[in-house]
Structure 1
Amino acid sequence: MPTLKDIAQLAQVSKATVSLALAGDPRISAETRDKVTAIAEQLGYIPNRMAQGLSRARSQSLGVLFYGGLSNPLEDFFSDTLMGIGHEALQLGYNVVLLGFSQQMNGEQTDWTEQVMRSGVDGLIVISMTSPLYGFEKLLAMRFPIVFIGKRQVAGTAPLKVNEVSTDHYGAGRAAADYLRRLGHAELAVVAPESASDWMEERIHGFLSVDRQLLRELNDRVYYVAEEESAEATFSSMLAQGYTAYFAIAPHLGLSLLQALQQQGIRVPEDVSLLVYDDFPSASLQRPPLTVLKQDMRALGRLAFQRAIEMIADPDEEPKHILISASLVERESCAPAHRREI
């Protein structure tokens, strides 16, 4: 049976455009509507009855819920991602309704069903910085259109049974190691927070996956840094090993490591290279400016919105997990390797 995706591919437009065109939406040009309609008739497309009902009852609004307390740099993640959502919403004439900020701790069982349904939104985008997520089980069982930004486990659901748009953290780790290897660095180390999240661990595993030696030496190559008091001792022990390049998997660790290197008289990038995940406002202002692997937060928002529109048009479509690659921003903290005397 032909689907919206089949029509979209032949018409060379998005599924959201196909849905709006078939619904006779005036925002779609007559030329595009005629083209889409002709292809649908040619294929024998039969509209999903549930989708038709949703179309008639749509409020032309999408809800956004931030799951996790806001603090720097999470404010940047939220605001940039929301900008991506807003840009797409403007193009299709949708309203964006901010449903609130959740600071639930793991184990809390608030049900979001009533709040979301009362808001009248057609779908929901959840921007999350914690895992697992609670309170969405009923909405998912109802096949209410929800897209989660960030690869997060949703309580009460099987893995990958929800719509997710996230950065490819494993791929980012591999990209970091590949970049440092191209610069000639063989002695590599990873710096991670003691309470590393699942997606941070994916960056570590991706980094170590580039060759078997790194994997064999996993326990020696990864340094988990605790809070302030013991961080100094961890850095001192690590810096004494003679690594020529470091990958800090979070911005605050990159800044702390840069300070520790400078305090010990180790020059960046003359003596060692430093690569940081993710970009942040002051990264380019450091001395030296930090080379980073950057998430495209606006793209996360844009793709999440597009996916939500697809789900509104076709609630029976199977969930998808969409990954976005991080991009390398070269500045001055990484340079070709050479031997450093310890």
Structure 2
Amino acid sequence: MPTLQDIANIAQCSKATVSLALSNHPRIAESTKARIRKVAIELGYLPAEPDNDVASKPAASRRSIGVLYIGEDAQKSIGQGFFRETLLSIIQEASRSNCNVVMIEVNASNGQITEDELCEKIYNSGVEGAVVICFRKELHGFNTLIDQQFPLVFVGDHTIADRDVKLHTVMTNNHDGGREATEYLLGLGHSRIALVTSPTSTERINGYFSAMRTAGHNVSDKHMMIVSPPYEKNDGRLRMLGEQEFTAIFATSSLAGLMVLQHLRFLGKQIPDDISMIVFDDSESFQIESPPITVMKQDLESLGTYAVKMLLDVVGEVLPLPGRVAISGRLIERASCRSLHAPLKVNR
């Protein structure tokens, strides 16, 4: 069940404002009330009303679809870029398709949940199908739902634990994105490119190695540093950034990118004069770094939009067999990568 905080995050206001708006308090502007009520209806917090412009048809004719979030803290995640932007596009596409959206949260600190818990939450929600968002690759607890052919669409490349089954999936084309990010650095004249990654970014890693080998460069696991939080100054996993003469870094996630930035500051290295850097996935902090960081940005709006379209096709039995949509990322060039073809500018 969505909360006031969920509505506040989407409507970009305080929880107190949401509470006052939904109670029709005179202190809140009518335009703000309308915006908040629209979000509340789209999230399924309030029922659709015939006289509300959100409900162009009677409430009984509107389908309900779920957004199943599996993780440690949905309240925290909903304010972060990936979840926030994807959820917003899901809500917008659902509204265009005359559907209500119901938030379904499953707390799973270790990634494992029981079949009974998951089925109970899904069926008690009353939804006809659900878009699944989880930041772990391997998922538990879905066997019963899959056996019962409950309509599910997964955002991201996931597998079901102890089972080889094809899933309806909408995901970023991670291999091509990893290759394009690496080719961008190669095009600037870099060949000594370090790869900083989490162990789960398999396709982005493969894209890096594909680009390097196609360009004729011998690379091995020695070029790759596998990291996970928390970051520490004497982190041995990033030791090679100070020991080897890399001219550029490709970080395969925003978290890996943030760890690299911290370590480069510790080493006293300047971007891009001492080393260039590109990150797969964007973050608000990358935009305000000095210099701003070049990124391969996921198309989160399309992820959410296509997830809803696919789910409605599955619900309507238009797409009975598992489908897979891979969405290209977009390279956003900022100021963190230096061309080795041009002389280094020296500040005087």
TM-score for both structures, normalised by structure 2: 0.73
- Residue equivalent to 1:217: 219
- Residue equivalent to 2:291: 288
- Say which structure, 1 or 2, has more relative contact order (CA 8 Å, 6+ apart): 1
- Counterparts of 2:78 and 2:265 in 1: how far apart (Å)? 24
8 Å Cα contact 1:214-1:221 kept in structure 2? no
8 Å Cα contact 2:191-2:217 kept in structure 1? no
Code of the residue aligned with 2:270 in structure 1: it is: R
- The reply on whether 1:122 has 2:122 as its aligned counterpart is no
8 Å Cα contact 2:296-2:330 kept in structure 1? yes
The verdict on how the C-alpha distance between 1:276 and 1:182 changes in structure 2, with shifts beyond 3 A counting, is same
Over aligned residues, Cα RMSD in angstroms?
Answer: 2.6
8 Å Cα contact 2:112-2:141 kept in structure 1? no
- Counterparts of 2:265 and 2:97 in 1: how far apart (Å)? 50
Identity of aligned residues (%): 33
The SS at the match of 1:95 is strand
The SS at the match of 2:138 is coil
The SS at the match of 1:282 is helix
8 Å Cα contact 1:144-1:315 kept in structure 2? no
Quote how far apart the aligned CAs of 1:300 are.
0.9
| Unmatched runs of 5 consecutive residues or more in structure 2 | 1-59
Q: Which of 127, 145, 156 lines up with 2:151 in the alignment?
A: 145
Code of the residue aligned with 1:101 in structure 2: it is: V
Quote how far apart the aligned CAs of 1:258 are.
2.5
Quote how far apart the aligned CAs of 1:264 are.
3.3
- Counterparts of 1:192 and 1:272 in 2: how far apart (Å)? 17
The verdict on how the C-alpha distance between 1:331 and 1:73 changes in structure 2, with shifts beyond 3 A counting, is farther
8 Å Cα contact 1:278-1:294 kept in structure 2? yes
- Counterparts of 1:99 and 1:139 in 2: how far apart (Å)? 15
Comparing 130-139 and 295-304, the one that deviates more: 130-139
Quote how far apart the aligned CAs of 1:232 are.
3.7
Code of the residue aligned with 2:339 in structure 1: it is: P
8 Å Cα contact 1:137-1:156 kept in structure 2? no
- Residue equivalent to 1:113: 119
The verdict on how the C-alpha distance between 1:185 and 1:291 changes in structure 2, with shifts beyond 3 A counting, is same
- Residue equivalent to 1:189: 194
Code of the residue aligned with 1:317 in structure 2: it is: P
Question: Structure 1, residues 241-282: CA drift from partner, whole Å, max 9, x if none?
Answer: 111110011223323323333443432112321001210111
8 Å Cα contact 2:212-2:219 kept in structure 1? no
- Counterparts in 2 of 1:1-342, with a 5 A limit? 60-70=63-73, 71=76, 75-103=80-108, 105-111=110-116, 112-159=118-165, 161-193=166-198, 196-197=199-200, 200-212=201-213, 216-225=218-227, 227-229=230-232, 231-314=234-317, 317-337=320-340
The SS at the match of 2:261 is helix
Aligned length in residues: 279
Quote how far apart the aligned CAs of 1:154 are.
1.6
Code of the residue aligned with 1:114 in structure 2: it is: E
- Counterparts of 1:214 and 1:107 in 2: how far apart (Å)? 43
| Unmatched runs of 5 consecutive residues or more in structure 1 | 1-56
The SS at the match of 2:190 is coil
- Counterparts of 2:239 and 2:212 in 1: how far apart (Å)? 26
8 Å Cα contact 2:313-2:319 kept in structure 1? no
- Counterparts of 2:79 and 2:112 in 1: how far apart (Å)? 22
8 Å Cα contact 1:278-1:292 kept in structure 2? yes
